[in-house]
Structure 1
Amino acid sequence: MVNALQWFFSILVVVTVLFSALYSIRSRRARDGRLRGLYASRMNISMGLMLIFIAIIQMFMFPGSSIRVAVGAVFLLLGLFNLFAGLRNHSHFTRLMRQ
């Protein structure tokens, strides 16, 4: 069961890395500032989810040590911040695109 969860979260990390790279490339190549911001916010959401999944793997899938839990907690906090900032910016740029 634990092995299946490790594979599941590993696949989720790889998928979110691919989405982060895709939106990063799109953001850098976009000419319109609104599209650039929209793609950057999607990249932040993907990176936030990736960091959260890495934190889950670190904290719950391996035997705990204090360093592993501390690194997992830092990744979790960074991931939550990126996710929050990405969602906030996505709603802002979505409203700008509608105008």
Structure 2
Amino acid sequence: MQAVTILLVSVICITIFGTFFHSMMSRRTKGISRRIYQARMNISMGIMFVSIAILQLTTPGGSWLRYTFIFLIFALGVINLYYGVKHRRYFLQLTHRKP
């Protein structure tokens, strides 16, 4: 159980730095590459939210309100992850098209 907690905390820390990095890079670039960085930021945020929800599930105790918030955080993470992957695929296809 302690190894899972350490793994989840390290994943959260890595994705926090990834989110900030991709956010800064998306502000510095223009065009399609900006959208690709925004999609990567959404992927990082999705992984971070899912990891936070799983980390909260491993802690003892709980009530229906706590589980409701955990579910909302998990759902937000899955949505961010889905749309981040979807938009990344779309914009990468746009960069590889031949005019």
Is TM > 0.5 for Structure 1 vs Structure 2? yes
Structure 2 residue 24 is the aligned partner of structure 1 residue 22: no
1:82-93 paired onto structure 2 within 5 Å:
82-93=80-91
Structure 1 stretches lacking a partner, 5+ long = none
Alignment TM-score, normalising by the size of structure 2: 0.92
Cα distance, 1:46 vs structure 2 = 0.3
Number of residues paired by the alignment?
97
| In structure 2, C-alpha distance between the alignment counterparts of 1:97 and 1:62, rounded to whole Å | 47
1:54-69 paired onto structure 2 within 5 Å:
54-69=52-67
Q: SS at the partner of 1:62?
A: coil
1:8-87 paired onto structure 2 within 5 Å:
8-31=7-30, 33-87=31-85
Aligned residues with identical type, % of pairs: 32
Cα distance, 1:7 vs structure 2 = 1.3
Q: CA contact under 8 A between 1:16 and 1:49: conserved in structure 2?
A: yes
Q: CA contact under 8 A between 1:27 and 1:39: conserved in structure 2?
A: yes
- The 10-residue stretch of structure 1 (58-67 or 8-17) with the greater mean CA deviation from structure 2: 58-67
Q: CA contact under 8 A between 1:6 and 1:61: conserved in structure 2?
A: no
RMSD: 1.0
Alignment TM-score, normalising by the size of structure 1: 0.92
Structure 2 stretches lacking a partner, 5+ long = none
| In structure 1, C-alpha distance between the alignment counterparts of 2:74 and 2:60, rounded to whole Å | 16
